[in-house]
Structure 1
Amino acid sequence: MLDLPETGRRMKGASAQAMKETEMRFHIENMTCGGCARSVTKAVESVDPKVRVDADPVTKTVTVESSASTHAISRALADAGYPASAA
């Protein structure tokens, strides 16, 4: 169960699981500059506004900490023109 201090209520099951953040790493071959990194960050933020994103164009990797699914993040990246593979 997840304690919610501001309300004093507890969440069970799927609702508590949906809030769990997972770290994901992707390789994006065509992320080559700071502008690309900003575009990648915006694409990921469109799925989860509370996401933590570290996009590194030098290593062409992006690390994402989010409660969104890997599929949703991958889809947003592909839709933005940055197809990603697992890193």
Structure 2
Amino acid sequence: MIAGVDVFLLFSRLILSTIFIGWFYQLALDLAAMGRFIVEILNQPTNQSKRGRKMIEFNVQDMTCGHCASRISKAINGIDSSAKVDVRIEGRSVLIESKASPDELAQAIRDAGYTPVAP
């Protein structure tokens, strides 16, 4: 009878292992699918946001310091006070989320004394 109990325990462990392995495998598949979904969402074009704003980027090669960045930000906020401005001095780029047109934004940067170039 002891051999029968050992065989039963062996099969029980085998069945439980198979169930857990299947569960972990399914979990891995679900996580992979979720990862692909997240990557798909992140790779969607973001040039148009939900509020009718556009993402616009300019290269500003003559922007060299924090003072320059401040002047550009103030100039852009002067034409659209709700604009979101991300100035990157190291990359000499300005990323703007605004309802204003690219021409209006470029002119505001020019009026501040800088030369915007669309990438």
**TM, length-normalised to structure 1:** 0.76
The CA deviation string for residues 29-68 of structure 1, in whole angstroms up to 9 with x for no partner, is: 1110111111110011011000000011110000000000
| Greater helix share, structure number | 2
Greater fraction of residues in strand: 1
Q: SS at 2:94's partner residue?
A: strand
What residue ranges of structure 1 are gaps of 5+ in the alignment? 1-18
Q: CA deviation at 1:83?
A: 1.5
Q: Which protein, 1 or 2, shows the higher relative CO under an 8 Å CA cutoff with sep ≥ 6?
A: 1
1: CA distance, partners of 2:67 / 2:112: 13
Q: Distance in 2 between matches of 1:46 and 1:73?
A: 10
Alignment equivalent of 1:34, drawn from 39, 58, 66: 66
Ranges of 4+ aligned residues in structure 1 off by more than 2 Å? none
Counterpart residue number, 1:68: 100
> 1:47 & 1:69 partners in 2: Cα distance?
10
Query: How many residues are aligned here?
Result: 69
TM-score (norm 2): 0.56
- RMSD of Structure 2 on Structure 1 (CA): 0.9
Counterpart of 1:51, as a letter, is A
Percent identical among aligned pairs is 33
Equivalence map 1:46-85=2 (5 Å): 46-85=78-117
Amino acid at match of 2:68: C
Matches of 2:89 and 2:75 in 1, distance apart?
Answer: 15
Tell me which structure has the larger Cα radius of gyration.
2
Gaps spanning 5+ residues in structure 2: where?
Answer: 1-50
